[in-house]
Structure 1
Amino acid sequence: MSSIEIQNFTYHHGDVELAGYIAQPSRYPRAGILIVPTIAGPNKLMRDRARWLASLGYSAMVCDIYGQGFVEDMHIARKLADELRADAQYYRERFRCALEELRSRSRLSNRRIGAIGYCMGGEAVLEMARSGEDLALVVSFHGLLATPLPAERGTVKARILVCHGRADPLVPPEQVRSFLEEMDVSEADCHMHIYSGVVHGFTDPASDARSLEAVKYNASADRQSKAAMLSMFDEIFEHKKTPDQQ
């Protein structure tokens, strides 16, 4: 059985230096998974999830967003996010660089890559899909669904899974309707799971400490959304026996 190896490293988007974290089995990963964190950037929870995915056989990389690591002050994080989103193509390129870094650092013997994201990270992985990145799957957890550059017919290569809280005030019903219409027009293969009564940030146990009505942890939605993701992983990244398992 393969051990898990961890690496911290830096990579670049133009002249912006970014910090990456990768956890992967020492041999024969099933696929590579890019993890895009929330608006605050990479934190311990995201690194924990990378190690968890590595324990399941995946090369999992947590990417950076601003080149400043975790941004604890939410006012600063929102300002940085607005600046990054101001140029939609540049925003997409920030994460395209992360995908290339995952491809170069993972021990994959294939090109099977997926991307998962949380909140702003969910928005980012959907932007990857819209732009036609060569991905097998993207998964958005309580991600924002609006975009300035809707997908065009035939451009989306990735399968899409969206896990959404029905009561999320940051993603109102009209945004959900517009997103689903966009998916229909683009002919994307999209699954959407909706959790009744659930608000934003439902996968993060620390959400309740923020004392915000819009952001709360929900253990059931967290568990069910993880299960949905792993089910899609099993469907798309078919597990094949490695030489040491045969």
Structure 2
Amino acid sequence: MTSSVSGPSPAPAGILVIHGGAGLDDHARAQAARWATRYMPATCTAPGVAGDRERVMAKVAALRDDPARLNRRASAGLDVLRSHAGPDAPVAAVGYCFGGLAALTMARQAAPIVAAVSIHGGLATVSPATPGSVSARLLVCHGAADPHVPFAQVEGFSDEMEAAGADWQLIMYGGAQHGFTHTHARPGETPGVAYDEVADTRSFAAAADFLATAFTDAAADAQ
């Protein structure tokens, strides 16, 4: 899923929006449209449909355990994005749930992005970043009450990024559970998953500001 953007950024830029573990569902489409609207005029493409949960989750697990393959898949999306935004435009990745893990994996694998944003995404990896390997700026928006990404993962991610010397930041939202941007999440339907309007609103604003700065600085560095 890709969204080419212009507007608040000083030059054309692009955002690769990566869906969660449920596949290309209504939430993923809504988030892509949300980012496209933020940076109007824009184009947003979202081909395909979400598959059945069992099949999708099996694919998610396989990709999670093979970071190099996950990065190759995500980088194919970057190729599509650059066909819209232009080959020299700064691009970033924003991911939700599994997509957040994918965005961070791209940064760990040195994909050509200026920034990566993980929103209620997985933070653990089987292939940690090495010193100096992460050039993209990182923003993690995390629910403090997320049982699917426990605090041990947060601590591990912090230690990993400090050891790698990455430019990273973490925002935790008190009381927010996993999937806090899913407006149609039904209370109790999936344990540990719930919509949180405050965390949703604040994380989008924080990510938008973070990306605006990253794009501005990237454009300045290119001059």
Which TM-score band applies after superposition, normalised by the shorter structure?
0.7 to 0.9
State the AA in 2 paired with 1:200: H
For residue 87 of structure 1, what is the aligned residue in structure 2?
A: 66
For residue 55 of structure 1, what is the aligned residue in structure 2?
A: 37
What SS does the corresponding residue of 1:167 show, helix, strand or coil? Answer: coil
* Bigger radius of gyration: 1
Number of matched pairs:
214
Q: Is residue 97 from structure 1 mapped to residue 79 from structure 2 by the alignment? A: no
Q: 1:78 aligns with which of 51, 57, 62?
A: 57
| Alignment root-mean-square deviation, CA | 2.5
Change (3 A) 1:150 1:115: same
Residues 90 and 215 of structure 2 are in contact (CA less than 8 Å); yes or no, is this contact kept in structure 1?
yes
Residues 119 and 144 of structure 1 are in contact (CA less than 8 Å); yes or no, is this contact kept in structure 2?
yes
For residue 143 of structure 2, what is the aligned residue in structure 1?
A: 165
Residues 4 and 44 of structure 2 are in contact (CA less than 8 Å); yes or no, is this contact kept in structure 1?
yes
The structure in which a higher percent of residues are strand is 1
Q: Is residue 113 from structure 1 mapped to residue 95 from structure 2 by the alignment? A: no
The structure in which a higher percent of residues are helix is 2
Length-normalised TM-score, structure 1: 0.78
Residues 33 and 60 of structure 1 are in contact (CA less than 8 Å); yes or no, is this contact kept in structure 2?
no
Residues 142 and 170 of structure 2 are in contact (CA less than 8 Å); yes or no, is this contact kept in structure 1?
yes
For residue 128 of structure 1, what is the aligned residue in structure 2?
A: 106
Take 2:60 and 2:188, find their aligned partners in 1: how far apart are those partners? 19
State the 1:56 CA deviation: 2.9
Q: 2:131 aligns with which of 136, 143, 153?
A: 153
Change (3 A) 1:44 1:236: same
State the AA in 2 paired with 1:190: W
Residues 3 and 17 of structure 2 are in contact (CA less than 8 Å); yes or no, is this contact kept in structure 1?
no
State the AA in 1 paired with 2:157: F
State the 1:54 CA deviation: 2.5
User: Which one has more relative contact order, counting CA pairs under 8 Å at least 6 apart?
Assistant: 2
C-alpha distance after superposition, 1:59-81 (max 9, x if no partner): 565677xxx7312x433322222
Take 1:197 and 1:205, find their aligned partners in 2: how far apart are those partners? 16
C-alpha distance after superposition, 1:100-141 (max 9, x if no partner): 22112x134742100000000000000001011121111000
State the AA in 2 paired with 1:103: R
What SS does the corresponding residue of 2:170 show, helix, strand or coil? Answer: strand
Which runs of 5 or more structure 1 residues have no equivalent in the other structure? 1-19, 240-246
Which runs of 5 or more structure 2 residues have no equivalent in the other structure? 218-223
Take 2:2 and 2:212, find their aligned partners in 1: how far apart are those partners? 24
Change (3 A) 1:46 1:78: closer
State the 1:196 CA deviation: 1.2
Length-normalised TM-score, structure 2: 0.86
State the 1:44 CA deviation: 2.8
Residues 202 and 221 of structure 1 are in contact (CA less than 8 Å); yes or no, is this contact kept in structure 2?
yes
What SS does the corresponding residue of 2:58 show, helix, strand or coil? Answer: helix
Residues 34 and 60 of structure 1 are in contact (CA less than 8 Å); yes or no, is this contact kept in structure 2?
no
